[in-house]
Structure 1
Amino acid sequence: MSDHLLGHMTTLEAADAAAAGTVVLLPVGAFEQHGSGLPLATDQIRAEAVVERLADALGGAAVIGPGVPVGVSPHHSAFAGTISLRPALFVAVVREYVESLAAHGWRRFLVVTGHGGNNAALGTLTQELMRDRPDLEVAWAPVTAVARSAVAELEVTEVSGHSGEAETSQMLHVAPGLVRSDLLRPGTTRLDELDGFARLARSVSQPSVALPYDRLAASGVLGDPRRATAADGRQIVDEVVERLTSFVKEWLDT
């Protein structure tokens, strides 16, 4: 267990941490389907694993604040167990975390999200805080997107993504006991398996489109998670932590 958890500190220790100018790390995720082999809390588990390693790498320069285990997931609502917050509510919750801690002296916050569906809401949050709280510095980072080079090196199917090779690899590294390896099954792996509009939605050269995941894959899986390895997951997580550590250290020096 990380010794940087704000929730394990007393109020006096928290005051000292704020006075020392520590960065608050906030892990946020989602509570949604991840196919037949990964748990509903996959995105929160990955975010927490990253911030724990990041806090360790930063030593006493960071504390880990409370997580937000439910995110913006209406695109997974057709699958059992999925819970979703409205974007405005998700923004409001994270904002309350930030402003509550800011009232006690913290000025720098890094939100690490394990769920890409939170990205738009976090962009809105930072825009609002930039307008309303210019005394604060708030950054946010999507886990897998930070490790672009590590993910790019994976051997993935033509269509990959949610619950696919990269995400399953990360879970095999950070929480192998929660991966039902015997139940992993390929989902949509080729563009020609999608209808015309869904195929366009998967093309990076086209406008962004919001589609329910049951339209993209009957199983909710994009890619072939059977190709995942813990070694690939370690490479991804290590790169995320390395890049975020460099970012925070430079941030603290400015």
Structure 2
Amino acid sequence: MTAKLAEMTTLEAARAAESGTVVVIPVGAFEQHGAGLPLATDQLRAEALADAVAEALPGKVVIGPGVPVGVSPHHQAFAGTVSLRPALFAAVVREYVESLAAHGWHRFLVITGHGGNNATLGTLAQDLLRDRPDLELAWAPVTVLAKDTVAAMELSPVSGHSGEAETAQMLHVAPHLVRRDLLTPGTTTPDELDPFARLARSVSHPAVALPYDRLSPSGVLGDPRRATAEDGRAIFAEATDRLVAFIKEWLDT
């Protein structure tokens, strides 16, 4: 049986729910990723990881509908960016979860390719804990799952959005969408940061929210030219292994 709910019939979906499968919901963002990566980068990465997890756990995972637009107001200065308000993003994910819960699913894993969704997903989880204690919701950002591989990469002193790690992942999962000739360094050192952003990176700093054009005029943190498809493959291998191990233990509890 296919692992994608969208490709199932209603009878197949009913059997999948009865068997206790985990519903994986890939969510991303529709936002600028510099000159070299597409606007849908975060959704493509989340979907690729969901596919890898489902392939590794046949019959235990169902991939539900994705949410291709996330919480991205900090990228709004760049053309093409589309953003949902946090409350609306949370409401959409919650409606997905509660719709599927009505048919018997009770375990849900959200894979997010966009770090800007994390705070909203945390709030949603708290709301569900209060309102729907019968449901279990977990969420995981793609790159954070591969912290060991990313730490071993050759990263710029400042690296992140559209930098080495994200570009490596796209070279692995969707190389045809990477504009290799347009990959250029963005902000790569603390001295290049906006003074307030530089202050926020200091020791014992408070949390701040800044628009990305104050972090990097190009919207890029790091040097994507250093990225390789091999690094991207390694990131996905580590992220897949971590999620597979988590789901196996989850299903055993």
Q: Give how far 1:208 is off.
A: 1.4
Cα distance in 2 for residues equivalent to 1:97 and 1:149: 32
Q: Give how far 1:197 is off.
A: 1.1
Cα distance in 1 for residues equivalent to 2:207 and 2:173: 31
Counterpart residue number, 2:190: 191
Higher mean Cα deviation, 146-155 or 2-11? 2-11
CA RMSD across the alignment: 1.0
Counterpart residue number, 1:174: 173
Counterpart residue number, 2:228: 229
Report SS of the residue matched to 2:58: helix
Q: Give how far 1:194 is off.
A: 1.4
Cα distance in 2 for residues equivalent to 1:204 and 1:72: 27
Counterpart residue number, 2:209: 210
Cα distance in 1 for residues equivalent to 2:218 and 2:22: 39
Counterpart residue number, 2:56: 57
Q: Give how far 1:146 is off.
A: 1.2
| AA of the residue aligned to 2:56 | A
Cα distance in 1 for residues equivalent to 2:5 and 2:249: 23
* Superposition TM-score, scaled by structure 2 size: 0.98
Q: Give how far 1:206 is off.
A: 1.6
Distance 1:235 1:95, change over 3 A: same
| 1:36 paired to 2:42 | no
Counterpart residue number, 1:124: 123
| 1:163 paired to 2:135 | no
Counterpart residue number, 1:80: 79
Cα distance in 2 for residues equivalent to 1:201 and 1:237: 30
| AA of the residue aligned to 2:102 | A
| AA of the residue aligned to 2:24 | L
Report SS of the residue matched to 1:149: helix
Q: Deviations over 1:66-88 (max 9, x none)?
A: 00000000000000000000000
Q: Deviations over 1:12-51 (max 9, x none)?
A: 0000000000000000000000000000000000000000
Structure 1 unaligned blocks of 5 or more:
none
Cα distance in 1 for residues equivalent to 2:114 and 2:204: 22
Q: Give how far 1:207 is off.
A: 1.6
Cα distance in 2 for residues equivalent to 1:177 and 1:204: 40
Counterpart residue number, 1:240: 239
| AA of the residue aligned to 1:177 | H
Cα distance in 2 for residues equivalent to 1:205 and 1:3: 48
Cα distance in 1 for residues equivalent to 2:192 and 2:101: 49
Counterpart residue number, 1:150: 149
Counterpart residue number, 2:88: 89
Q: Give how far 1:203 is off.
A: 4.4
| AA of the residue aligned to 1:40 | L
Q: Deviations over 1:92-123 (max 9, x none)?
A: 00000000000000010000000000000000
Cα distance in 1 for residues equivalent to 2:40 and 2:150: 21
Using the aligned pairs only, state the percent identity. 75
Higher mean Cα deviation, 62-71 or 194-203? 194-203
| AA of the residue aligned to 1:210 | A
Counterpart residue number, 2:19: 20
Structure 2 unaligned blocks of 5 or more:
none
| 1:103 paired to 2:102 | yes
Cα distance in 2 for residues equivalent to 1:18 and 1:59: 14
Moved over 4 A (4+): none
Counterpart residue number, 2:7: 8
| AA of the residue aligned to 1:74 | P
Cα distance in 1 for residues equivalent to 2:229 and 2:246: 26
* Superposition TM-score, scaled by structure 1 size: 0.98
Q: Give how far 1:196 is off.
A: 2.2
Higher mean Cα deviation, 197-206 or 184-193? 197-206
